[in-house]
Homo-oligomer: A and B are copies of this chain.
Amino acid sequence: MRAHVTKKILSEGLGLLERVIPSRSSNPLLTSLKVEATEAGLTLSGTNLEIDLSCFVPAEVQNPQNFVIPAHLFAQIVRSLGGELVELELTGNELAVRAGGSNFKLQTGDFEAYPPLSFPTQADVSLDAGELSRAFGSVRYAASNEAFQAVFRGIKLEHRGETARVVASDGYRVAIRDFPASGDGKNLIVPARSADELIRVLKDGEARFTYGEGMLTVTTDRVRMNLKLLDGDFPDYERVIPKDIRLQVTLPATALKDAVNRVAVLADKNANNRVEFQVSQGKLLLAAEGDYGRAQDTLDVVQGGTEPAMSLAFNARHVLDALGPIEGDAELLFSGSTSPAIFRASGGGGYMAVMVTLRV
């Protein structure tokens, strides 16, 4: 087999697969990249047993043949090459990789021994890839890395008629993003670490979903991905969203981020990075206190609601996370010192963070 392929396109494909394929494994074959060739190009694939990923790279191929090759080494070599075009030539168990004055000879692995990866092709439902990726990206922070409840390590995707919703929670906060979607899809829970790969892989165009047994296949024009779903019931997060808003403030999200970052320097790491929010007379006073001293910051806000003043306390880290996806003005909705609070973008956009307060 001999193939000619653009270095840039090959590198991009390898870049996606490198993140999924483990660099070490008790089964060394899993560290390999599987390459299936046709005259139109090369299909690169790999798996970490949680996610299977496959990516098509257009190429000019003569006498197409399949092979497996150490994935990370191959990717590193391709990246290091000079010039724009890469030549691959397979002779027996040796793959030659050539470009400019460079000539690499790599030992290939046992193609037959590599686990079969199959990607269903019919689509059950279709979503906008960019919207889905942004939605996962907005709520990812709230998923837990170490929750006692396994579902908290996942992101729930709900189909709600004209919109879809992603939700993540670690029990102390909930992040929600709604986005336009049509079609009658299933509700499911994607492991947060698989969502990370989806965020990376999904750019624009369509993301076509195929539902399997405890599994989801996502197909775009560039890639196909199988991912294992989380089993279990996601808690009823809607009941923690406060309905009775008694005080509301609006201010630029960056001003609030900067101020929380400042006062958090002195916040007590052993007391949940506690920062107090005191609202009254169009001012938001932030205050934190720790072993080395105390910090205050005063911000002008647009204040509304029936309550003239309120004091609440939050984990500074959680506040900064919640503000992350908000651009422009942030709206903070408070229903009482001991009730959860809502942080959302003033202009809408479907994102909302709900956070428990710390005891005042």
Q: Are A296 and B103 in contact (CB under 8 A)?
A: yes
Known A262-B80, A265-B76, A265-B80; judge A293-B102 contact (CB<8 A). Answer: no
Q: Is A70 interfacial (CB 8 A cutoff)?
A: yes
Q: Which of A260-292 contact B (CB under 8 A)?
A: 261-263, 265-266, 292
Which of these, B102, B263, B297, contacts A259 with CB under 8 Å?
B102
Which of these, B70, B81, B104, B294, contacts A105 with CB under 8 Å?
B294
**How would residues 58 to 84 of chain A score, 1 for a CB under 8 Å from any chain B CB and 0 otherwise?**
000000000000100100110011100
Interface residues on A, range: 20 to 34
Within the assembled complex, what's the spacing in Å between the Cα atoms of A293 and B107?
6
Q: Is A87 interfacial (CB 8 A cutoff)?
A: no
Within the assembled complex, what's the spacing in Å between the Cα atoms of A101 and B287?
12
Q: Which of A75-122 contact B (CB under 8 A)?
A: 76-77, 80-82, 94, 101-107
Q: Is A299 interfacial (CB 8 A cutoff)?
A: yes
Q: Is A245 interfacial (CB 8 A cutoff)?
A: no
Q: Is A295 interfacial (CB 8 A cutoff)?
A: yes
**Residue in chain B with minimal CB distance to A103:** B296
Q: Are A80 and B298 in contact (CB under 8 A)?
A: no
Within the assembled complex, what's the spacing in Å between the Cα atoms of A64 and B51?
64
The 4 closest A-B pairs by CB, nearest first: A106-B293, A101-B298, A80-B262, A103-B296
